[in-house]
Amino acid sequence: EPGTSDPVVPAQKQEDNTFPTNSYSTPEQSQVISQPPAPPEPEQQTQATPPPPTQAPGEPPEPQEPVAQSQCTEGQVNINTASIEELQEIIHIGPARAPETVNLRPFTSVDDMDRIPGIGPSRLADIKAQGIACV
């Protein structure tokens, strides 16, 4: 029947203190300092990254240093470190070629002595046969 049902009564609004609100309170003498967020942790790399180039593209390469570990034995003449006088002990390297040999350093091998003016295949073979030139 109409009117016999219970009337709908709006629920009373109750204050809910179980969840935090958007307002914050600080003690009277406290200060709030804003800090930027921490940087993200770097991801672990699964591949090694190549080392950066030692020179910019387009620049001429830096001159190479003489070979650090000598293959020479006692009694041999290291063509990368010998004095002009010591170089003259090598066959076909006299007073004219010794200073040029110094200017052309570093040499990567005895075979590289073919860069010295006047040292062709025949003279290079003589130098190698003599056995005192080394790098």
What's 120's domain CATH number? 1.10.150.320
Give the pTM.
Answer: 0.50
**Average pLDDT estimate for 117-130:** 98
Question: Using CA atoms, how far apart are residues 95 and 44, in angstroms rounded to an integer?
Answer: 61
**Could you tell me if 129 and 95 are in contact, meaning their C-beta atoms sit under 8 angstroms apart?**
no
> In this structure, what DSSP letter does residue 84 have?
H
| Statement: residue 31 has pLDDT above 50 | yes
Residue 52 CA: distances (Å) to CA of 42, 66, 84: 19, 23, 39
Picking from 85, 92, 88, 82, the residue whose alpha carbon sits closest to that of residue 118 is 92
**Average pLDDT estimate for 56-63:** 53
Q: Is the dihedral of CA 74, 75, 76, 82 positive or negative?
A: positive
**Could you tell me if 95 and 89 are in contact, meaning their C-beta atoms sit under 8 angstroms apart?**
no
In a domain, 24, yes or no: no
Q: Record the tokens describing residue 115, joined without a space.
A: 């860069």
In a domain, 52, yes or no: no
Range of 100's domain?
Answer: 77-134
| Statement: residue 54 has pLDDT above 70 | no
**pLDDT for position 71:** 82
| Statement: residue 127 has pLDDT above 80 | yes
In a domain, 90, yes or no: yes
Question: Using CA atoms, how far apart are residues 62 and 69, in angstroms rounded to an integer?
Answer: 20
In a domain, 22, yes or no: no
